[in-house]
Structure 1
Amino acid sequence: MKIFRQLTLLIFISISTYSFAQNSDLGAWYMYFGNNKITKKLNFHNEIQYRNFDGIGDLEQLLIRTGIGYDLTENNNNILLGYGFILSQPYVNGEKSENIEHRIFQQYITKQKLGRVNLQHRYRLEERFLQDDFRMRFRYYLGLNIPVTNKEMLPKTLYISAYNEIFLHADSPVFDRNRVYGALGFVINKNMRIEAGYMNQIQENKNRGQIQIGFYNNIPFTKN
């Protein structure tokens, strides 16, 4: 019964945030993240993000990312080489336009544990091939997960998730954007979890809020 109440609470939050996004100028992001072991050291990253100007239907951006990673130490200190396809449909002078970007990226992730707090640092370098331009960008992400209903991130655990990520251009102006995020999550089992939260993005001295619902899948492709 306790598990049922926890899952019901998270679903209620997800539905509430979806409804709130539909009736405001907030954006909404629906996200899937896969990080699946291929061997003991290698992992396959796969990701789809469907981003809307409103709750659903008015596409802002479709982002597809994939890559192969390698653990320098057991289940930690991961280096990864990846590719991203980004379809953007921004409004320009009230009219929708369409842009396609191809992106190559390299990243390093390291994890730490401080009591109940699970920390993750991600350093990412991106080479961005836009339709009429080429840009390079550096990103630093600091995220944390804190279990609430258990001492560890065990199955059927509610947890708090938060992150801050800064984006820096290789040329001027150096500052691109900053994202701050907070959410409530639920560990479904040892390989799957779900989160519902809110992210605020500062870009060009403008703030924009995003409702986010994310699903995380770590089911390994191998038993070894």
Structure 2
Amino acid sequence: MKRGLLLLSLLFSSLLSSQNTTEDKWGTWIMLYGDNKISENLDIVTEFRLHHYEIFDVLDNQFYKIGLGYRVTPNISVGAGYVHHYSETRTNISVSENRPYEEICLNRKIKKLSVSHRYRIEHRWINKDGVTDFVNRMRYRLQLIHPISGKFYIKVFDEIFLNLQEDVFNQNRLHTGIGYQINPNFKFEMGYLKNHLANRADDILRIGILFKTDLRKKTNIE
């Protein structure tokens, strides 16, 4: 109960911080995330996202991801995959990116509280109006999930992005929100995300649909 109250206070604090923003309007991030089991410890992960500069309006970028995740132990998993996204900036500059990545996730439970540490390295080929640059980036995310009532839960995370060259700071994302587990294989989430970049800070309504599938062959027992 105390941890649930702590997470609620974090949610309230981050919502108050939205008053200090360089943007007058909120954007939206809409996410569809799939975890598709192909063996006992191996999953195919998929993700599709749409980002809007305004609420469900003025498309910013489209984001596609496919990867593999492998559970080394119940509390440790590793993964690798590929991301592609395309964006059209507010100054009408087109940007596309091809981004392989590798990651490791460390998970633990403290009573009802789920704690996750994710470390990811990304190799980014960024094409901006026909000119391609290559950069590497590190990401670290701390995520907390705690049930609050019935099928509802709170999700809080903070993720920092660091370039592995000059201008080290890339961005920081602080998220607080609510999730609802419709069934063991289907969840719906909604939350507030504050995205701090080098020269601005954006307020974002984040909406997610998360699902699980089992692609293993079923054996019929007669």
Q: What is the TM-score when the length of structure 1 is the normalising length?
A: 0.82
Indicate the residue corresponding to 2:204 in structure 1: 210
Shift of residue 116 of structure 1? Answer: 1.3
Counterpart of 1:197 in structure 2: which amino acid? Answer: G
Counterpart of 1:88 in structure 2: which amino acid? Answer: S
Distance 1:207 1:84 in 2: 24
Distance 1:173 1:57 in 2: 31
Distance 1:218 1:120 in 2: 19
Matching of residues 93-172 of structure 1 within 5 Å: 96-131=92-127, 132-150=132-150, 157-172=151-166
Q: Tell me the number of residue pairs that the alignment of Structure 1 and Structure 2 aligns.
A: 191
1:178 equivalent among 168, 172, 177: 172
Runs of 4+ in structure 1 off by over 3 angstroms are none
Distance 1:113 1:78 in 2: 15
Shift of residue 205 of structure 1? Answer: 4.2
Indicate the residue corresponding to 1:40 in structure 2: 40
SS of 1:130's partner is strand
Shift of residue 139 of structure 1? Answer: 0.2
Q: What is the TM-score when the length of structure 2 is the normalising length?
A: 0.82
Matching of residues 193-204 of structure 1 within 5 Å: 193-204=187-198
Shift of residue 97 of structure 1? Answer: 2.1
Shift of residue 219 of structure 1? Answer: 2.1
Q: Which has the higher strand share?
A: 2
SS of 2:149's partner is coil
Indicate the residue corresponding to 1:54 in structure 2: 54
Distance 2:39 2:176 in 1: 33
- What percent of counterpart residues are identical? 29
Per-residue Cα deviation, 1:39-61 (whole angstroms, up to 9, x for no partner): 00210010001000012231111
Distance 2:158 2:199 in 1: 17
The alignment yields a C-alpha RMSD, in angstroms, of 1.4
Shift of residue 223 of structure 1? Answer: 6.8
Distance 1:223 1:111 in 2: 28
Distance 1:51 1:191 in 2: 25
Shift of residue 111 of structure 1? Answer: 1.0
